[in-house]
Structure 1
Amino acid sequence: MRFAGALERLWPEENREGPLGLAVSGGPDSLALLFLAASILPGEIAVMSVDHGLRPEAKAEVDLVENVCRALSIPFARTKVKLASGNVQGKAREARYRALGQWAHQEGLGAVATAHHTDDAAETLLMRLVRGSGIAGLAGVREWTHVPGFDDVALIRPLLGFRKCELERVVEACGITPVRDPSNEDRAFDRVRVRQHLSEHEWLDAQGLAASAQHLAEGWRALEWYAQADWEEMVALEKTAEGLPQYRYFCNAPRTIQIETVQRIVAQLGGRVSRGEAGTAADRLWRGENASLGGVLGRCDVEKVEKVGVEMRVWRFVPEPPRRTH
């Protein structure tokens, strides 16, 4: 069975410690995930539904999921989250993952699974291409990662090899009428417009686009490996004359790796910057100019590296002095 194969590849049986947690909204995709997982892992799954408080129908939708779980004797949890101001879909996603991560800790789950599928991956790739995203963004929906903000909670997506129409048929075969979120038809959202465009143009093959996203994800994993090596070999923590923490970075890597390392250094010093901001700072430092970002000051110099006997650019990063106020 295709689902069982994907599950074994992403979450091998010998690595499992605790049940698999499923994020289920009541829509056809996540209900299909529930039914498929229940058939493969009986007694080894748990379900959470998140009410984002955006629509009055949400409570009834969570009730639907709870009733399905009760009929299948699957542990069920519900939670209602409060969204921060800003992009609604983005803030809902952040709140949902935060709730899932906390639930995974509380229940001792071995991993969390979401119902992202082939069509989702294709839509995400097109949206990010239009926005000019870098490789990290174009890698899109990853099969295996961590729940954002919870580096000890694995997040898997075993349905990425399935089309949405296939998942619809799974739910139909189980005799359940899924939830239909009206926001999925609202053209005010970029994803809805992209989804409709894909459905209207046969030459835009969702499976081909999803495959490209996976190839990009593999390339990004290689760059992450390179960035980790750059961090371990070229970055050192020092102290300034005033006793402040200072990171020294012998920079001799391609720009993509520079960005990852600069972003990580800023994070270590308590700041937070985007890859775009880290790239702008790296460009300034490469030109020999100072750069200020995320409360961190970067300075450029050239030094001889003793163990290799050659001169290299060295960038030093320290917490930025507090601004004077009058």
Structure 2
Amino acid sequence: MNNNQAALVNEAFELALKNILARVSASGNLQSRPSVDDDPVLPDTHEAPRKLAIAYSGGLDSSVLLHLIHAFSVKYKFDLCAFHIHHGISPNADDWLAHCEAQCRQLNIQFDARKIAVVKSARNGLEEAARIGRYAALGALCREHRASVLLTAHHQDDQAETVLLQLLRGSGVAGLSGMDIQNVAADLLGNASLEMARPLLAASRAELAAFAAKNDIRFIEDESNADLRYARNALRHTVMPALGQSFPGFQGRLARAAQHAQSAQRLLIALAVQDLQDCQDGDCLDIRQLRRLSSDRIYNLLRYWFGSRGVRMPSTAWLSEMLVQLLEAKDDAQLCVTHADCHIRRYRDRIFMTPKLDATGLSAAPIAFR
């Protein structure tokens, strides 16, 4: 990578982050000032101090992000902090923590870390349990340090892997949408006002590797990334290289496909909101109104209904069977269909959800709409 290519990576990152911060500002999480040129609006640095935070694992991607955001924060006078999550899974985890702390000290970046205990369960395997614990810890660190935006180092290859994984799982439009450039993940981060953003989403892994080499950026190698037992690693090391030989640049095309799916998903959500307004009766769904919709619109509405209540998305087969039972039961039937997270009940012409009883026998009240 020559100097011009490195400058292009930096310029693309800076433009992406400016756009992200402009949207955060428009949402009210940051205050902004009028732009004096054609650049996106940046938050007013004369207001109360704001912090940008990054999730810093010490690997290639987050190490490049650390150096890019450091230059950005110095140029535009943002406070910056880097957060590292120690999972305790790898025997090298202590060394990684020490490496990250040393790199931040060298750049004069505020650093903090959390150690978490990762325990897999029947509901979540080790990889998913680590992900949930990591983001919960990152959200807690952002609250503690009053950071309004959390940046992650997801890039174009990550997006392509996500789309391929979802496709292989038979996911619908929502799954094929991949990762947004920014979003609020209140359940994952435990903070409804914290924005999570991915300013490197348009950059390829090869570009990041070249940038790291050009700028002599030190990073660690996580040995688990070579473990082919993990689906994402199997894709990364076997399937994607084969695709790259026959379809060079496929990652960018999959990223565009994800953008098309995101647009379609927004339309589906808008339709579901409209249908929910027509079918909702308090905390229940009116079966008579539901029957007026086409089957596709009913499924779309029910998926939105589940998602709006924080209930895990059921499989298509389960959803189809549930709908048959609820719609075809006799009018006087008091039907109950069990979901992993709740019960879906029918009483006369109404469908509603109730939580499962816990060990104390609480509570059977309907789950309220958010």
C-alpha displacement of 1:100: 0.9
Instruction: From the superposition, tell whether residues 321 and 222 of structure 1 become closer, same or farther in structure 2 (CA, over 3 Å).
Output: closer
Instruction: From the superposition, tell whether residues 315 and 104 of structure 1 become closer, same or farther in structure 2 (CA, over 3 Å).
Output: same
C-alpha displacement of 1:118: 0.5
1:1-45 C-alpha deviation (Å, 9 max, x unpaired)? 111111122221745632111001011100111111111122422
Tell me the distance in 2 between the aligned counterparts of 1:259 and 1:297. 11
Does 2:213 correspond to 1:187? Answer: no
TM-score normalised by length of structure 2? 0.74
Question: Is this contact kept in 1: 2:269–2:304, CA < 8 A?
Answer: no
Does 2:172 correspond to 1:138? Answer: no
Question: Is this contact kept in 1: 2:148–2:193, CA < 8 A?
Answer: no
Matched residue, 2:109: 74
Question: Is this contact kept in 1: 2:148–2:194, CA < 8 A?
Answer: yes
Matched residue, 1:257: 300
1:235 is aligned with what amino acid? Q
TM-score normalised by length of structure 1? 0.83
Question: Is this contact kept in 2: 1:29–1:115, CA < 8 A?
Answer: yes
Question: Is this contact kept in 1: 2:181–2:201, CA < 8 A?
Answer: yes
2:179 is aligned with what amino acid? V
Question: Is this contact kept in 2: 1:259–1:275, CA < 8 A?
Answer: no
Question: Is this contact kept in 1: 2:156–2:200, CA < 8 A?
Answer: yes
Q: How does 1:198-209 map to 2 (within 5 A)?
A: 198-201=240-243, 202-204=245-247, 205-209=250-254
Which of 216, 240, 258 is the matching residue for 1:213? 258
Matched residue, 1:122: 160
Tell me the distance in 1 between the aligned counterparts of 2:346 and 2:201. 44
Q: Name stretches of at least 5 consecutive residues in structure 1 with no aligned partner.
A: 238-245, 302-313
Which of 77, 81, 85 is the matching residue for 2:120? 85
Secondary structure at the aligned position of 1:316 is classed as: strand
Does 2:101 correspond to 1:46? Answer: no
Secondary structure at the aligned position of 2:195 is classed as: strand
1:192-237 C-alpha deviation (Å, 9 max, x unpaired)? 1111211133234111112212221222122223333333443132
Instruction: From the superposition, tell whether residues 107 and 131 of structure 1 become closer, same or farther in structure 2 (CA, over 3 Å).
Output: same
Tell me the distance in 2 between the aligned counterparts of 1:24 and 1:318. 40
2:85 is aligned with what amino acid? V
Tell me the distance in 2 between the aligned counterparts of 1:215 and 1:317. 33
Question: Is this contact kept in 2: 1:21–1:45, CA < 8 A?
Answer: yes
Q: How many residues matched? A: 300
Instruction: From the superposition, tell whether residues 283 and 141 of structure 1 become closer, same or farther in structure 2 (CA, over 3 Å).
Output: farther
Matched residue, 1:309: none
Instruction: From the superposition, tell whether residues 321 and 83 of structure 1 become closer, same or farther in structure 2 (CA, over 3 Å).
Output: closer
Tell me the distance in 2 between the aligned counterparts of 1:320 and 1:46. 39
1:163 is aligned with what amino acid? S
Matched residue, 2:40: none
Tell me the distance in 2 between the aligned counterparts of 1:6 and 1:279. 41
Q: Among the aligned pairs, what percent are the same residue?
A: 26
The alignment's C-alpha RMSD in Å is 2.6
2:14 is aligned with what amino acid? A
Tell me the distance in 1 between the aligned counterparts of 2:221 and 2:63. 12
Tell me the distance in 2 between the aligned counterparts of 1:207 and 1:318. 41
Does 2:41 correspond to 1:4? Answer: no
